[in-house]
Amino acid sequence: MVKRYFEMIYHPNKATDVKVMNSSGNEAVPETEAGATSPTVSVTNSETIEKNKKFTVYKVVVEAAGHKWFVFRRYNEFSKLLDILKRQYPNIPLKLPGKKLFGNNFSSDFIKNRRQGLNEFVQKLVTEPCLLQSAEVREFLNVDKNLVPLSPDEGPLDKVQDLAEALYSEEKGSDVDKEEKPVDLGPKEKKNVKPSDFEFLKVIGKGSFGRVLLAKHKTEGNVYAVKVLQKKMILKRNEKNHVMSERNVLLKNLHHPFLVGLHYAFQTPDKLYFVLDYVNGGELFFHLQRERYFPEPRARFYAAEITSALGYLHSEGIIYRDLKPENILLDYKGHVVLTDFGLSKEGLTEKDTTTTFCGTPEYLAPEVLRKQAYDKAVDWWCLGAVLYEMLYGLPPFYSKDTLEMYQNILNKPLRLRTNISIPARNLLEGLLQKDKSKRLGAANDVEDIKKHDFFKAINWVDLEAKAILPPYNPNVRGQMDLKNIDPEFIREPVPASLSRSQSLSASVQDADVSFVGFSYAPPTEL
């Protein structure tokens, strides 16, 4: 079975020091500020594959710190990266070879010319320091991932399919099952929840540890988004605590209208399953990118629903820590739904602080950058940053140079154009206060935000009852409408292994307790 992502790589260590290969294949060595070099990167080969739909993958070879690996990317993946980078770094000239409107897109001459254009694009990625620091670029090149050791003189592309099968082995399922020890499901295990209870309909997302699928419960008839994670990858990258924390936060979200809820959590010997609300109105990021900025009433509505969600999390002892437009979804009616709680911090009391450096660069609060202890007020800074972006089109203190942006966040005074109302200006000034002790929300948390003049017209009881009509309707035709989902995901075949149900013997349950207490199902009514 041909996989959409082929990530074959040579060495298990992370790449840090790096150097550059030019488009002709000769080595170039541009120095960075620290004296280190940029990665050697080149697009060296391609392969056209036909499985239900014909497509071409391009081999991107990366060399860093004496280690070498390669990844296979499709043209649409280059295109998505370009769209993100154009938004983040509008002053850097970046371009890709265009699509062929007429004729054969799979001719050898066309593919050769496209490969040369893609090679020029990746050279630009590693010769611009700010681009190389971008999380999206590093993920695209697999710079920061654990790498699988292979022979440094790996054979030709006709081995790609075999290697992909060995790496993922999801269709057969046997390889992973033999390597992975089943785990003790803990006291909250519900034996009646299993993969075969669901009909997996479409792939609707993909991440570092697995897939997100649209699924229908066979007996209930309800539609869900099911996040399926590979245990091996979670343990390999030391992410177990984050996954368990996300599960715990999700359990509490069922009680709030603007937080994605967890309905089931269960596991097989090799996979973890999160059964979540299916939200198909699109990311706020998608709508903001298309419209550039929102009118103030629309921004106020979204900010109010976000405020309500953050206030609820805080009341449960949780700091969200990763508020950004990409993590804010719209449901089919246009209401906000916060998702992705992988960076959330749980178990905090009113005066507790934490020190973990995490978040997304554009939205980091000054105290996080200074590596100081921080509290719930960090979320109110993020709210201010998102509201600013909704009103002005870019995050506050934004710069294409990440280090310069950090300096702006720490030291540059907030400047607000006069095209917004005075209450909006005052709210932004209060939320984007660099001194966390003076920040709006530092004293009385969410109550300070709700009482601000900017939200004077908001009836918070009606808001949380979803009795206020959203200012924008995504116009989706019910839960099964997939028009806001990336079509590349939808076209990917659903792995048959996802519906396998496997039982665990008592002796095997005692052998591994890595994910004790992960499984969850709602109590059944008597």
Task: Give, in degrees to the nearest 5, the angle at Cα 39 between 37 and 41.
Answer: 145
Task: Provide CB contacts within 8 A for 343, sequence distance 6+.
Answer: 242, 320, 321, 322, 358, 359
Annotation says 322 is catalytic? yes
Altogether, the residues listed in the chain come to a count of: 526
Q: Is the Cβ–Cβ distance between 341 and 249 less than 8 Å?
A: yes
Q: Is the Cβ–Cβ distance between 280 and 485 less than 8 Å?
A: yes
Handedness of CA 89, 82, 13, 115 (dihedral sign): negative
Q: For residue 283, what is the DSSP state?
A: B
d(CA 427, CA 384) in angstroms, rounded, equals: 8
Which of 370, 445, 442 lies closest to 406 in space, CA to CA? 370
Which of 395, 391, 417, 416 lies closest to 406 in space, CA to CA? 395
Using a 10 angstrom Cβ sphere, with 0-12 exposed, 13-18 middle and 19 or more buried, the burial of residue 272 is buried
Do the annotations mark residue 240 as ligand-binding?
no
CA 336 and chain centroid, separation: 17
Place of tokens 């997939």: 482
* 3-class DSSP assignment, residue 87: helix
- Using H for helix, E for strand and C for coil, what is the string for 414-445? CCCCCCCCHHHHHHHHHHCCCCHHHCCCCCCC
Task: Provide CB contacts within 8 A for 114, sequence distance 6+.
Answer: 58, 75, 97
d(CA 57, CA 54) in angstroms, rounded, equals: 10
- Using H for helix, E for strand and C for coil, what is the string for 291-314? HCCCCHHHHHHHHHHHHHHHHHHH
Q: Is the Cβ–Cβ distance between 251 and 195 less than 8 Å?
A: no
* Catalytic residue, candidates 197, 322, 331, 375: 322
- Our CA dihedral for 386, 392, 394, 397, rounded to 10 degrees, sits at -80
Place of tokens 């299916």: 278
Q: Which residues pair with 276 in a beta bridge?
A: 225, 262
Summarize the annotated binding site for ATP as residue ranges: 236
* Residues involved in catalysis: 322
